[in-house]
Amino acid sequence: MVNPQPALAIKLGKLELAYPTLMGSGCYGSGEEFAPFVDLSKIGAIVLKSVTRLPRLGNPTPRLVQTPAGMLNAIGLQNPGIEWYLEHELHKYAGRPCKIVGSIAGFEIDDYAYVCERLAARDEIEAIELNVSCPNVAQEGETFGCDPDLTARVVEAARATTNKTLIVKLSPNVTDIVAVARQAENSGADALAVINTVRGMAIDVETWRPRLGNITGGLSGPAIRPIAVLAVYEIAQVVSIPIVGQGGIETLADALEFFLAGATAISIGTANFTDPRIPERLVAELQAYLTRRNIGSIQEIVGRAHVEIATAHQYEGDEG
Ligand SMILES: Cc1cc2nc3c(=O)[nH]c(=O)nc-3n(C[C@H](O)[C@H](O)[C@H](O)COP(=O)(O)O)c2cc1C
């Protein structure tokens, strides 16, 4: 008798996905660009590029720098603003064979509430992701996601505007990401996206100038994977909402690390720039892996790497 395929379907709050694979914000366009190469029905969801209340031209170029194990980007949230977006962009997403998640960025708490209410009201959008890695203009530019209380206020403000699934995307550029995760859950988040890019920079040694027009940027790709896996592992121990793990996923083994650390789903960003077929391949490889090990569903492996450290081996901190 042939065993049924292992179940890959998962839920993020009310959002039901056929596959546990999301395409990271800013890394998959509208999906339309990839349609000639990829079966979009094999993708759990596409998270759209973050949109803001007002149009943004983005940062000066260069905006991308390749690094040994990933890349630095400083796009600067270039987008046409919510009004234009609703009128001219969103209709493109109707009838997509995978779910569409809108992403919001803002510079004041009220921005998040305003954009969330307008975007979530549209049928094309199944869920909302809050990108809290932006400076708060009312508080000397402090990044929302760096302060648990500011994060809480953003989440509460957005939560009040919609019943659709709210995913809060956490920044790793903090001292205690677990504290921010806890506050996001307490304030009404249905799921957490862990992690956004890690701050970094690169310098041109001929011109003696920073290589990014914005001077600093966000590092993504395999270089940040261990940071992301640790964040998922630690956050999974304190929250009960699902986590979308991300940061440098390219292969089946990379994806499995995140599930075993405690992620219910994974998101692929930078890898799409070199191989847009990765999402489709990962789904097939996940099925084969679970079948080979006689595991009935992806949910059975979530968090299975959690272990107690034996007292005799406990250190005050990590080596180095
Ligand atoms: C070019 C580029 C643009 C991005 N734009 C956004 C964005 O608009 N909003 C957001 O929340 N994350 C954005 N991200 C972050 C990714 O969605 C993802 O969380 C991060 O890159 C880590 O995953 P990865 O290593 O698989 O790329 C962007 C990343 C890249 C590389």
Q: Which pLDDT score is estimated for 134?
A: 78
How far apart CA 103 and CA 97 sit, in angstroms, is 19
* 193-219 per-position pLDDT tens digit: 999 999 999 999 999 999 999 999 999
How far apart CA 188 and CA 209 sit, in angstroms, is 43
Q: How many CA atoms lie within 13 A of 132 on its CB side?
A: 37
Residue-range domain boundaries for the chain: 10-313
Distance 31 CA to ligand 1 centre (A): 15
Distance 21 CA to ligand 1 centre (A): 15
CB of 131 within 6 A of ligand 1: the answer is yes
Residue 31 near residue 23 (C-beta atoms within 8 A): yes
* 78-106 per-position pLDDT tens digit: 999 999 999 999 998 888 899 999 999 99
CA-based nearest residue to 124, from 156, 152, 102: 102
Name the amino acid, one letter, at 291. T
Torsion of CA 137, 142, 147, 152, to 10 degrees: 10
Task: Report pTM.
Answer: 0.96
Q: Any idea which residues carry the catalytic annotation?
A: 134
Q: Identify the band that residue 315 occupies on the pLDDT scale cut at 50, 70 and 90.
A: low
Residue 195 CA: which ligand 1 atom is closest?
19
Superfamily of the domain at 10-313: Aldolase class I (3.20.20.70)
Which strand (E) or helix (H) includes residue 129? strand 127-131
CB of 52 within 6 A of ligand 1: the answer is no
Distance 307 CA to ligand 1 centre (A): 30
